[in-house]
Amino acid sequence: MTTKIIAAAVAGAIALPALPAFAEEWDVSLWGKRRAFTEHVEKLAELVSEKTGGEFTLNISYGGLSSNRENLDGIEIGAFEMAQFCAGYHPDKNPSITVLELPFLGVETLEEEARISRALYDHPAVQEDLGRWNAVPLMPSPLPQYNLVGKGDVPADLAGLSGLSVRATGGIGAAMAELGATPTSMTATEVRQAMDSGVVQAVAFAPHAHMSFGTVEAADWWTTNLDPGTVNCPVVVNADALEGLSDAHREALLGSVDEAMDHYLAYYADETMAAWGPRMEELGVEQVTFDDAALADLKERVAAPAAAAWVEENAARGLPAQELLDMVQTMAAEQ
C-alpha cells in the first residue's frame, strides 16, 4: 500500500509543470484602467517576463492595492514593489520633482519631457527626497501640455475663465488662479463625478485622461492652446525589493526601461493624439483658441513669480531648489 502511495506521489510530481528555479513576482500599484498613461508599465512587464523566461513577473493592479494618493506610502512600507504616482497629488511628499509642474516651463514635446524628467530623477537631491519613502525612480510618465475641457458657457477669451472652478494641480493651478478661476485639486478618478455635479466647471488634463476618465462626454468646449504646464508622474520601485532581485532579474528590469519608454512615446503619438481631434469632433465639443498675445501676457505674469515662490519654499526645506530649477530651465531652453 505504501509503495503504491509513494509511486502515485512520484508520478504526480513528475506530471506537474516545472516551476522556474528562481521565480520572483512583484506587485505593481496603478489606478484607473489601462491607457496611454500606463503603456510603459504594461510594456515593461511584457519585456521582463520575456527576458527571464517567465521567472520574473510584474503583477499589475489598477486600484486594487492602494489609492492613487497613497502609492508612495505603500512603497515605503513594502506593501507592493512598484507604483506610479503624480507629484501634484501630494507635493509635500515629493517636493523636489514638483519643479517639473511649474507653469510655462517651455517644454513642448513628450520626448523633451521624458529627457528632462530622467535627468532630474538622477539628481542626488531628488533621489534623497524620494529615498525618504524607500523609493527609487525608475521611469517617468511624460505627458503633453494640459488643456481644459469645460461645461457651460463657452469662454470667448481668457477673461471668460474667471470665476470658474477648475480641476487643476501644481503650476497649472497657479495659472488658473491668475486668471481668476478657482483651482481645485482632486485625483483623476474623481473628476467626472465632480464635473457632473457642478463641483467643477472645467478640468485640466492631458488628452488621454480626458478620454479615459470621461470628461469629453460631459463637455461643451475645450481649449486648444492654453498649454499652462503638465504634471509629473514617476514610476518608482521599492529600494529593498530592487536590491533583493537577482542580478539577472535586475538587469532584465533596468535594461528594459528604454524600450518601454520608446513604446510609450510611440503609443501616445500614434494612438492617443491621433484619436483626440476626431473624438472631439464626433462629440461636437467646441474648440476655444486663445489670442497669442494674451497667452504671452499670462505667461509673463505667472511663470517667473511661480518659479520664485517654488525656490523660496523648497530652499527652506533644505533642497537645492535654485539648482534644480536652473537645470530644468536650461534643458528646456536647449530644446
- For the chain, which residues make up each domain, given as ranges? 23-141+231-273, 147-230+284-334
Superfamily of chain region 23-141+231-273: Bacterial extracellular solute-binding protein, family 7 (3.40.190.170)
DSSP 142: -
The model's pLDDT over 247-257, given as tens digits with 9 standing for 90+, comes to 999 999 999 99
- Phi-psi map region of 181: left, alpha, beta (phi>0 left; psi -120 to 50 alpha): beta
What's the pLDDT at 4? Answer: 35
With CA atoms as reference, report the closest residue to 196 among 175, 213, 171.
213
pLDDT tier at 169 (50, 70, 90 boundaries)? Answer: confident
Cα gap 334→319, rounded to integer Å: 24
With CA atoms as reference, report the closest residue to 231 among 317, 147, 127.
147
Cα gap 17→13, rounded to integer Å: 9
> Is residue 221 helix, strand or coil?
strand
What is the DSSP annotation of 166-207?
Answer: EE--HHHHHHHHHTT-EEE---GGGHHHHHHHTS-SEEEE-H
Average pLDDT over residues 73-91: 96
Q: What is the mean pLDDT of the chain?
A: 92
The set of residues, in sequence order, having a beta carbon less than 8 Å from that of 323 and lying 6+ positions away, is: 125
The model's pLDDT over 137-149, given as tens digits with 9 standing for 90+, comes to 999 999 999 999 9
Cα gap 302→166, rounded to integer Å: 17
On the question of pLDDT at 204 being above 60, the answer is yes
On the question of pLDDT at 8 being above 50, the answer is no
The model's pLDDT over 211-225, given as tens digits with 9 standing for 90+, comes to 889 999 999 999 999
On the question of pLDDT at 7 being above 50, the answer is no
Cα gap 327→307, rounded to integer Å: 13
Q: How many CB atoms lie within 10 A of CB 243?
A: 10
Are the C-beta atoms of 155 and 290 separated by less than 8 Å? no
Top-tier CATH class for 147-230+284-334: alpha beta
Are the C-beta atoms of 221 and 288 separated by less than 8 Å? yes
On the question of pLDDT at 261 being above 50, the answer is yes
- With 0-12 / 13-18 / 19 or more C-beta atoms within 10 angstroms meaning exposed / middle / buried, residue 301 is middle
In angstroms, the first-to-last Cα distance of the chain is 78
Cα gap 302→54, rounded to integer Å: 50
SS3 of the chain: helix, strand, coil, percent, to 5: 55, 15, 30
Percentage of the chain beyond pLDDT 90 is 82
What's the pLDDT at 21? Answer: 52
What's the pLDDT at 17? Answer: 47
What's the pLDDT at 206? Answer: 87
Average pLDDT over residues 73-84: 98
What is the DSSP annotation of 44-87?
Answer: HHHHHHHHTTTSEEEEEEESSS--GGGHHHHHHHTSSSEEE--G
With CA atoms as reference, report the closest residue to 101 among 185, 33, 161, 225.
185
